[in-house]
Amino acid sequence: MMDAIFTPPTACARQIDWRFLLPQPEGHPFEHLALMGGSTEIEASILDLGVAQRVSRRLRHGDRADALIVLAGATESLDTAARHLDHNGVLYWEVDRRVPGQFGMTPARALRRVKQHGLNPAAAYWVKPGFPARQMYLPLQAGRAFRWYLDTLYRTPTCRRRMVGTALRALAAAGRGLAAFAPCYAITAVRGTTRPPALIERACMEGLSISHANQPVLLAYGETEWNRIVLLLFDPNASVPTAAIKLPRTPVFNQQVEWEHDILRELSSNLAPPIRRSIPTSALFRWNGLAVSAETCVTGSSLSSRAGPAANDALEDLRLTVAWLASFHRETTIDTVPAREWLTQRLVNGMCADYAATFGLTDAETRLFATLSQRLDVAGPGLLPIVWQHGDFGPPNVYLDRSHVSVIDWETARRGPALADLLYFVTDWSAAAAGRASDTERLEHFESLFCAGSPADALTRAVHGEIAEYMRRVGLPASLFGFLLVYTFLEKALERARRLAKLGRPDAARRAGNRFVAYVGVLAQYAHRLFGEERN
């Protein structure tokens, strides 16, 4: 598509992620989109983001539309609305079988109904976890992609999830299609010749190694507008994806996609082969005003699907991940700087001041910041390695294939102090490994992990042992641990606030809802322990 004129996004951009699956004509938005169901905010997002030039919530006699969107909960009849769809017009239809009276509307029956209206089905997707939380679109006919999802991305933090996963694997092994158990699904169709989603067509036009026959698995994880869309492309008979198409929901975040592409290109040019093979390669193009990257896919399964109380290899996963990160940071050390001067300028005079100006300070945080300033002598004359940080080194972005580690999603990569990536990783990974899922449980786990004195359990001892080994390998003095722990979560709290402010959110500087502010609050309560004695 041609670049669209951009207006500030509404808060509902993430509610129209289905647009990325539409077999939309290349080169222009829809002229007239009929929206059945949804809200006025969704209507505004469709217009703001250039999906259509005009949107109607009701169709009158004689109206013609080149796109018909029927969302779950719509009261209008598909039979009535479909008559208004023009030649080459596109249908997107959601069916929620959990609603009374809809259980019998299987995908097979829905597809027959679509054909009865003279439409040619393009694709059918299981929408997980359901409506309106459309976080994943999984093609109903892509059995191998489903098995890949179960092996790679399906998370099992609870006994119930593990039981469900076992049942789904049994169904997949028996050759049962997803339609047999998909409670929520969506169908795309065309009145005329079927086409793949316009985004895939554009990728093919760019000369990338992508086929029109590729089946996309759309991932729309994350609850905020800055979380990106990922389409994993599967060849019809492939058991692993061949490429990943990544793009932002709005042009506001084009820079993140462009930055990641530049970072991957730079790293690929400078890293030694063993580390270079652990990150994707990228190609960049534009579609509908959005920056789009097509990346190679890594192998293995994400640590978010592996971590949990029943994970037998959790500590080995931790060891392999930390070893990879230490090797990566040793290889990408840009500089080593006097630690005391850096902490004075970047932490005490920089990060602490920004945090106070953004969130204000509690009494405990005021004491923490005073302690940081007073105890700079603890840092001693040591040197601080400045490295290429990943910036979002969490379990979902780390993949393991036997003993081979790969890392994806480099859009927040930047130069910064060693250790911050690791502290962020072990915070989330160890909470999952301990089965701590709720916000309250995760906060309690954070406190016990970093502030409880001597590690009391095997998991915590393993985490601290790996932190010590990482610091030894990258040449980071143990005396800097407390400073970098505070730095890491101040930076995360401020990063979230800045992203919300970029969207014009009035709650950007609110302390409530920013979990990293809560982590800083915990550290503030234990300032005397963090800086009163040196780590062993």
pLDDT tens digit string along 458-498? 999 999 999 999 999 999 999 999 999 999 999 999 999 99
For residues 236 and 319, membership in a common domain is answered with no
d(CA 363, CA 64) in angstroms, rounded, equals 63
111 close to 124: Cβ distance less than 8 angstroms? yes
The larger pLDDT score, comparing residue 244 to residue 142, is at 244
pLDDT tens digit string along 3-61? 333 334 445 889 999 999 999 766 589 999 999 999 999 999 999 999 999 999 999 88
CATH number at residue 21: 3.40.50
Prediction pTM value: 0.84
Tally the domains of the chain: 3
Among 262, 297, 332, residue at a domain's last position: 297
Q: DSSP strand E in 252-397: where? A: 282-287, 290-295, 301-302, 335-338, 383-389
For residues 290 and 308, membership in a common domain is answered with no
pLDDT tens digit string along 184-234? 999 999 999 998 999 999 988 887 777 777 889 999 987 677 789 999 998
- Confidence band (pLDDT; 50, 70, 90) for 309? confident
Among 249, 267, 297, residue at a domain's last position: 297
For residues 191 and 203, membership in a common domain is answered with no
Q: Give the mean model confidence (pLDDT) for residues 378-399.
A: 93
pLDDT value at residue 353: 97
Q: Which positions ≥6 away from 482 have C-beta within 8 Å?
A: 378, 530, 531, 535
Task: Tell me: pLDDT of 424 over 50.
Answer: yes
pLDDT value at residue 502: 83
For residues 265 and 355, membership in a common domain is answered with no
pLDDT value at residue 182: 86
Does residue 149 sit within a domain? no
Does residue 53 sit within a domain? yes
CATH number at residue 236: 3.30.200.20
For residues 243 and 124, membership in a common domain is answered with no
Q: Give the mean model confidence (pLDDT) for residues 307-326.
A: 88
- Confidence band (pLDDT; 50, 70, 90) for 76? confident
For residues 377 and 459, membership in a common domain is answered with yes
d(CA 96, CA 182) in angstroms, rounded, equals 9
Does residue 449 sit within a domain? yes
For residues 449 and 488, membership in a common domain is answered with yes
CATH number at residue 436: 3.90.1200
Among 271, 297, 323, residue at a domain's last position: 297
Does residue 164 sit within a domain? no
For residues 277 and 312, membership in a common domain is answered with no
Amino acid at 18: W
Does residue 11 sit within a domain? yes
pLDDT tens digit string along 134-187? 999 999 876 677 777 777 766 655 566 566 666 666 665 554 556 667 899 999
DSSP per-residue letters across 358-384:
HH---HHHHHHHHHHHHTGGGGTT-EE
For residues 129 and 259, membership in a common domain is answered with no
Does residue 163 sit within a domain? no
Does residue 433 sit within a domain? yes
For residues 83 and 204, membership in a common domain is answered with no
Structural domain that includes position 399: 301-532
pLDDT value at residue 170: 62
Does residue 162 sit within a domain? no
Strand, coil or helix: 295: strand
